[in-house]
A and B are shown apart, each in its own frame.
Chain A
Amino acid sequence: MSVILEFKDINKSFGEKQVLKNINLKIESNKKIGLLGKNGSGKSTLFKLANDLLTPTSGQVLVDGKTISSETKKLVSYLPERTYLSASMKVSDAINFFADFYEDFDREKAEKLLVDLQLDKNMRLSKMSKGMKEKVQLVLVMSRNAKIYILDEPLGGVDPASRDYILQTILKNFNKDATLLISTHMIADIEKILDEVVFIDDGQIVLQEDANKLREKENCTIDEIFRRKFYVR
C-alpha cells in the first residue's frame, strides 16, 4: 500500500511550549485510521499541520509524497472542529462555493445528503445551531471525491442520538479508494469501523497498530485499551 500522508521528524512549538515532539507517522492509503488521544494531546495540531493551518517548527509534512501546496490540497478533504463557513451564507451558497473550488465535489451527493440529514439548503447558516452547521460542513466535506478525508472530532457537537447516523453517513459516503483519518475521544462510537489506530499522548505517537490485531493481543476493546493506557495509572 502506498503512503498518502507522512509526517517526517515533525516538531511544533508555540513559544516555549512544545506540543508535538519528533513525530514520525506514515498513513497508508485505503485505510480507516483513528487518531486517538486525550484532549490537548496534539491530535488537532497534527491535523492542522497536514492542512497548512500551522507551519512546523521543524520537519516535513508530505501528502502523496509531495510537500503541501495548492496541488496537494486538491487531494485532502478536511473537516475541522471549527465552523468555518461565513454566517451570511445560505447552505446553497456553501454548496456553490465548494463546487466552484473543488473539481471533485459531487453536487448531487451533497444535495441528497442534505435531504437525508433534514437540512434546508435555502436556510442561512446564521439561523442554524452549532450542530446543524457541523452537519452542513460534514455534508460538504464528504461530498468530495478526495484521496484522504481528515475528520477532526466529527461527532463532537452532535447529539448522541444522531452520532450513529452521522457515522453511517461518513462511512457510506467517502470515496472507497480513499483514506479516512479520524480523530476523536469517543472511541467506543467509532472503533468498530477502524482498520488501524494511532495513539497520541503528550505530543508523541505512542502506538500505531492494526485495530484487529491490537484487540486480539490485548483481548479487549480499543476503548478499554485506551482507558487503561491513559486514564488508569
Chain B
Amino acid sequence: MLGKLLKYDFRKNMRWLWILFVGAIVAAGITRGLVELGKSIAFFKVLSILFDSVFYALVANSLIQPFLRGFMDFSKSLYGDESYLTHTLPVTKKQIINSKYITTFAELLMGFASVIIAILIRFASPTFLQTIKYMLSAVVTGEFSALLALVLMIVLVIVEFLMFSSIINFSIVMAYKSNEKKVLKSFLFTAAFAAIAMTVLSVAMVIMFVAFGVDISSSTLTFTAPVFFGIIITGIVVYLLFTVLFYFLAKKEFGKGVNVD
C-alpha cells in the first residue's frame, strides 16, 4: 500500500514540478549557448542577460517549490478536505506519513539534482573548481580540495532543507491537535523547533571550535581547512539528526489519531 500512496503522491506534485526541473536545465543550456555566441556577437550577449534572469528564476523555483509543495500537500492531504479520502483509505497512519516524507524528500533531492546539473551546464569550465577555491580562500586557509568542499556544502544545504521540511511537518501535526488557530500555531511551532535546532547547532559548533583549539573571540572569519570541513560536517550531522528526530516525532504524534475539521 505504501507503493500505491507513493505513486499517487508523486504523480500529484510531479505533474508540474518536472516542468521547473527540466526548464532550469534547458534554460541553463540556452543561456550558456547565448553567452558563448555573445563573445562574438553583441546581440546574443543582450539575449544571454535576459535568459540569465529566466535561468536564475527557474533554479530558485526548482529549490523552493518542492519544499513549499511538500508541506502544503502535507497539510492539505492530512487535515484539509482531501483528508476525508486519505484517512479512510485502507492504509496505516505510518504508511501515510512515510509516503509524505519520502515524496517530499525525493522531490527536494530531484530539485537539487536538476539545479546542480543546470549550474554545471551554465558555468562549468576548466577553471570552475579553481574559481570556487579562489572564492573559498577568503575564509579558508591552507591546502584543501575544492571539489570536496563543494560537495560537502551542497550536502549541507540539502540536509538543511530536509530538516526544515521535517520540522514544518511535525509542527503541522502538533498544531492540528488543537481546535483553533491551527495555521498560526503551525508557524509558531516551526519557529520554536527551528530555534531549538539552531541552538543545538551553535552549541555543537562551539564544542567543535574548542576541540580544534579555535579562538572564538577572534574577529577574523578565517579557518584552517580542517576547521572549515569540521564546521560543514558538524552542520550536516546536526541537521540529519534533527531531520530524523522530527520525522519520528511526527510519526508518533500522527499515529495517536487526528481531528479533522
Contact = CB atoms under 8 A, between A and B. Distances in A.
Contacts of A55: 256-259
Given A84-B82, A85-B85, A70 B92 contact: yes
A160 interface: no
Interface of A: 14-15, 48, 51-55, 69-71, 73-74, 76, 78, 80, 82-86, 88, 97, 100-102
Nearest to A57: B259
B102 to A, nearest CB: 18
B90 A70 contact: yes
B83 A53 contact: yes
B87 A101 contact: no
B180 interface: yes
Contacts of A85: 82, 85
Q: Main SS of chain A's interface residues?
A: loop
A13 to B, nearest CB: 9
B8 A70 contact: no
Contacts of A73: 88-91
Enumerate the 4 nearest inter-chain pairs by beta-carbon distance, A residue then B residue, closest first. A55-B257, A84-B84, A84-B85, A73-B90
Contact of A86 (B82, B88, B259): B82
B4 A74 contact: no
Contacts of A97: 8
Contacts of B95: 70
B260 interface: yes
By CB atoms of chain A within 10 A, which of B85, B87, B88, B90 has the most?
A: B88
Contacts of B85: 84-85
Interface residues of B, number: 25
A15 B179 contact: yes
Contacts of B91: 70, 73, 101
A184 B223 CA distance: 71
Interface string B6-17: 011000100100
Given A15-B180, A48-B260, A54-B259, A82 B81 contact: yes
Interface string B233-260: 0000000000000000000000011111
B92 A53 contact: no
A100 B87 contact: no
B143 to A, nearest CB: 53
A14 B90 CA distance: 27
A51 B86 CA distance: 11
B99 to A, nearest CB: 12
A86 B84 contact: no
Given A54-B259, A54-B260, 9 more contacts: A53-B87, A70-B90, A70-B91, A73-B89, A76-B88, A86-B82, A88-B15, A101-B1, A101-B91
Contacts of A101: 1, 4, 89-91
